[in-house]
Amino acid sequence: MNKIYAVYGAAGCGRSLMPIAREHIATGETIYFIDDALTTEQQINGYKAVNYDMFKAIESDEKNVLIAIANSNIRQKLAEKLINDGINIWTVKSQSTVIMDNVIIGNGAALSPFVTIGANVIVGQCFHANLYSYVEHDCVIGDFVTFAPRVSCNGNVHIEDHAYIGTGAVLRQGTPDKPLITEVTHR
């Protein structure tokens, strides 16, 4: 079976996630960057880079794409486009990522080095957890949520869809009967 892979986005987020994505592919399988600004195939950090239409045109039995775009609204639109085009949304995690028991993680997660997901956590689709971030026990993380580096999300916290939690943020724990709930204000 001929499989190809791509990291959608070749800016900082994508270039940081490419080495993690590369860990997941077998020898001989091909991985690309997708950058919609390109009109011809190019090289970025030693990887082939193409636009989305060029990627779709590549003959393959299976296509898998990690969306590495920080803007959650764009990430959602790209996820919908990939699904409509029959392309798999790909999850990648660093070898140093720790995932505890009874965790559910939606498709398209990007888990950077030294991320920890505690027990009994539910994570929505296309979650980005950057370097040294953690989600502790009994949290519920919505779809298209982004954790910048070193976010500390303590137990019994609920985070709504499209939330962006900034670098070094500490989310104090809730309780089982009264979880701390973060609400998203629209930008």
Q: Residues 117, 98: contact at Cβ < 8 Å?
A: yes
Same domain, 77 and 147: no
pTM: 0.93
Domain span at residue 42? 3-90
Same domain, 95 and 75: no
Residue 185: predicted pLDDT:
62
Is 137 marked active-site? yes
Split into its structural domains, the chain has a count of 2
Mean per-residue pLDDT of the chain:
96
What is the distance of C-alpha 82 from the center of its chain?
Answer: 14
pLDDT at 30 over 60: yes
pLDDT tens figures, 136-187? 999 999 999 999 999 999 999 999 999 999 999 999 999 999 998 987 765 5
Residue 143: predicted pLDDT:
98
Same domain, 118 and 184: yes
Same domain, 95 and 187: yes
Choose the final residue of a domain: 31, 65, 90.
90
CA dihedral 66, 83, 80, 130 (to 10 degrees): -20
pLDDT tens figures, 69-100? 999 999 999 999 999 999 999 999 999 999 99
Q: What is the C-alpha separation between 176 and 4, in angstroms, rounded?
A: 43
Average pLDDT value for residue range 14-32: 94
Choose the final residue of a domain: 90, 117, 135.
90
pLDDT at 36 over 90: yes
Catalytic residue among 137, 158, 162, 186: 137
Choose the final residue of a domain: 90, 118, 153.
90
| Residue percentage of the chain with pLDDT more than 90 | 93
